[in-house]
């Protein structure tokens, strides 16, 4: 593996196994095993949301997420993968 150039390696986000691993990565990054993605057709112009309990963050670390209500944030995407990546990008 010494000569392997991993910089050009990208995950195949159409692959079910990779999506399962991405969801696991999001849960790990947020420290919450109950995070999930859900289809909410048309929610604010998006089809998929990744639902994260951002209320667990302390006040000092809290950010102004776009779609937060009662401490729960919807990270949106046109696809399931896009919603999961948005949640991963926003992880503390």
In this chain, which of 3, 4, 10, 16 binds another protein, going by CB under 8 A?
Answer: 16
Residues 51-70 that bind another protein (CB under 8 A): 51
Q: With contact defined as beta carbons under 8 Å apart, do 35 and 24 qualify? A: no
| DSSP structure class, residue 57 | S
In this chain, which of 1, 8, 41, 69 binds another protein, going by CB under 8 A?
Answer: 41
In this chain, which of 3, 7, 10, 34 binds another protein, going by CB under 8 A?
Answer: 34
Burial class (CB in 10 A: 0-12, 13-18, 19+), 35: buried
Report how far residue 50's alpha carbon sits from residue 36's, in angstroms, rounded to the nearest whole number. 6
Q: Is residue 17 a contact residue for another protein (CB under 8 A)?
A: yes
Name the one range near another protein by CB under 8 A: 2-10, 17-25, 55-63, 67-75: 17-25
Q: Which residues of this protein are in contact with another protein, per CB under 8 A?
A: 15-21, 23-24, 34-41, 51, 80
């Amino acid at each position: 593996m010494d000569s392997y150039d991993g910089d050009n390696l990208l995950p195949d986000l159409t692959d079910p196994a990779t999506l399962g691993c991405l969801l696991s990565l999001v849960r790990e990054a947020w420290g919450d095993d109950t995070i999930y993605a859900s289809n909410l057709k048309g929610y604010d112009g998006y089809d998929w949301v990744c639902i994260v309990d951002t209320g667990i963050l302390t006040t000092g670390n809290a950010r102004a997420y776009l779609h937060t209500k009662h401490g729960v944030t919807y990270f949106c995407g046109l696809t399931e993968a896009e919603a999961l990546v948005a949640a991963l990008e926003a992880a503390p």
